[in-house]
Each structure stands twice: as C-alpha cells, then as structure tokens.
C-alpha cells in the first residue's frame, strides 16, 4: 500500500510540539467553573472558552501550527484556504503574523462579520456560490496560479495537532486542580478539534469519555461512529450553526476519533439558541451558535453528568449581531 493510503497520524508528542510552537502567539484560554451548570447537572462542570482565543475561535491554533511549519521554498506564494469564517480568520491572521499573503475562498452566504474580519486580519477573500460552484476547484486554481500552499480546515497532520492543544490545556488545568475529567465534550464539523483533543486528554486520562456535539440533522460523526464508517449529511445548510457544516468527518480525523471518541450527542437550533443565551447571561461569554452545541446538549440533558467532572469546549465566538439577537429572542431574553 502507498503512504497516501496509510498517512501518518499525529500523536500526543505532536500536540506537545504544537503547544511549544504556539506558546508565544496563542492565548492559553482558561478552564472556567460554572456553578449554575453544577447545580443543573449535579456534576462539576468547566467551560473552555475559545471565543477568547486569537481571532475568536480555536481555529487559530491549527492554522498557525500548520503555516509556521512551511519551508522557505513554500512561503513565497502564500497560502490559500476554504472556509465560511473561523478557519478563514485563523489562516489570515496566522499568515499575516508569519509575513505571508493569504487568499480565502468563502461562500457568499457566510456571515458578513466573519468576511469583514478575515479581510481585517490580512486575508484576500474570493467568494463563491455555495451549492453551485466548487470551492475546492477554485482554491486549487488559485494555488496553481500563485504557487500558494493549500491549508485544509481539519484533515491535516499539523492542523489536528494544533487543535489538540485545547485538550492539552484542559488536561493540564484539570491536573493542577487535582481533578480527573470523566467527560470532555467538543463541537465537531470535520473533526479536527475533537480528534486533537482526544489525542491529548486520553494520553493523560485514559478512561475519560470524549464526545462530539453536532447540530441536529447534521450529526455525521455520531452516525459514522454507529455505522463504523464515514457517513455524509444529506444537506449542505439548514442550521444556525454555520461553523459546523462539513459534509462528512475527515478521513484522518475519523481514523483518530473512531478509536478515541466513538460517541456523540446533538442539539436542535432552539436548544443551541438557549445555550448562546445561557453563556451570555450566566458567564458573560459571547459564543456563536456553532460554538455552543456542546453546551446546548448538556443543558438539554443529553448526558448524565451527576457526580461527574466534565469539560465543555465553547469553540468560537464569531457571531454577527443579528444572529446573536435572534438567539436571545428565541431564548426569551430579548
């Protein structure tokens, strides 16, 4: 078999290496206790607020780890990426910090704020029509024309390792508190975050349960775990969680998560809206819908956390004002 069919997967050591590379540039987000969640669940619950991360989501971690490892001969043409927003901002910011140009292929229906922030971070945005045009073909043409390196959103060795630093920090902070997590829940789209987290936390706490959280109707990870192979979502859109719209788990990410995760929960748009409002009201944290699904699943009682210690990852906070206001309205807060 060729190496392409059996690619090398990142390990715990690669996550540690990514953490060393990110130490001077990424925010080490805190692990925050939430007494209200403790009271509601009967457990001891912590939140990992990646809205506080550089560019407002965990995506900066993987993007910087990947782009910073390019050799001198690869840097001249810059980088190109496809994203509806969070990966776009992470790539644009990382490339700018490293003195490289970036081009981001974004759908026309991407939130206006995410598009504007991508440009503000130094990225050149090329728009396409979702469901009509092929974003990968557009990115490939740009890469060929400019000699740019494509930076995938999740299915990449260094991207996964970079995202895994979220889990490494959770494990380290739990240890410093003298605690062992029973459950870690992370939002999943292509699976880079949850697979990286699993590499880190399962190394330090082998018995911890790691779960995916996905929007209802877009639970391709949960269905894939049950089926034993990667399943696809039937729709490309239709949820307020625009950050979690990957069609299927990544090939590399699923190789990891099928071994180390293996279970998932989901939440409806209404439950997600209530979670957005909860984070704002109880913790004063602004979280986008796609970043709040794990919290939504916990608030909806999808997991029995009584007597358990759990960490919930809030993966991003790049929500436009209109969507945020609508979430508050749905939750009865506006």
Sheet containing 102-107, strands listed edge to edge, beginning at the edge strand earlier in sequence: 123-128, 102-107, 79-82, 149-150
Q: What percent of the chain has pLDDT over 70?
A: 98
**Cα three-residue angle 17-18-24, rounded to 5 degrees:** 105
pLDDT of residue 234: 85
For residues 96 and 66, the answer to whether their CB atoms sit within 8 Å is no
pLDDT score for 68: 97
Hey, what CATH topology would domain 60-155 get? Rossmann fold (3.40.50)
Residues in the chain, pLDDT under 70:
1-6, 334
pLDDT at site 3: 39
Region(s) of the chain under CATH 3.40.50.1100: 12-56+158-330, 60-155
Task: Look at residue 5 in the predicted model and tell me its pLDDT.
Answer: 54
> Which CATH number applies to 12-56+158-330?
3.40.50.1100
Write down the pLDDT at residue 122: 97
> 0.85 exceeded by the pTM?
yes
Supply the pLDDT for residue 334.
Answer: 58
The predicted pLDDT at position 332 comes to 86
């Amino acid at each position: 078999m060729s190496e392409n069919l059996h690619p090398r997967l990142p390990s715990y050591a690669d996550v540690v290496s990514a953490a060393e590379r990110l130490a001077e540039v990424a925010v080490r987000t805190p692990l925050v206790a939430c007494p209200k969640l403790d009271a509601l669940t009967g457990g001891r619950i912590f939140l990992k607020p990646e809205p506080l991360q550089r560019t407002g989501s965990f995506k900066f971690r993987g993007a910087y780890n990947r782009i910073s490892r390019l050799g001198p001969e690869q840097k001249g043409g810059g980088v190109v990426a496809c994203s509806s927003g969070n990966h776009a901002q992470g790539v644009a910011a990382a490339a700018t910090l490293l003195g490289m140009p970036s081009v981001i292929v974004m759908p026309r229906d991407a939130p206006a704020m995410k598009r504007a922030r991508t440009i503000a971070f130094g990225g050149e945005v090329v728009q396409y029509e979702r469901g009509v045009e092929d974003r990968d073909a557009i990115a490939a043409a740009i890469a060929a024309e400019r000699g740019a390196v494509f930076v995938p959103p999740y299915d990449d060795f260094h991207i996964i390792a970079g995202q895994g630093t979220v889990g490494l920090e959770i494990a380290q902070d739990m240890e410093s508190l003298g605690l062992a997590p029973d459950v870690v829940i992370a939002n999943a789209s292509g699976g880079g975050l949850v697979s990286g987290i699993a590499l880190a936390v399962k190394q330090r706490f082998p018995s911890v349960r790691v779960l995916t959280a996905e929007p209802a109707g877009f639970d391709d990870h949960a269905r894939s775990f049950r089926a034993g192979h990667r399943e696809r979502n039937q729709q490309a859109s239709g949820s307020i969680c625009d950050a979690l719209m990957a069609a299927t788990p990544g090939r590399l990410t699923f190789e990891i998560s099928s071994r180390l995760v293996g279970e998932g929960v989901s939440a409806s748009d209404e439950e997600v809206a209530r979670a957005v409002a909860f984070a704002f009201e109880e913790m004063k944290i602004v979280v986008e819908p796609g970043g709040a699904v794990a919290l939504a699943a916990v608030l909806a009682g999808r997991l029995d956390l009584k007597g358990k210690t759990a960490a919930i990852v809030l993966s991003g906070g790049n929500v436009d004002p209109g969507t945020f206001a609508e979430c508050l309205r749905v939750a009865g807060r506006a």
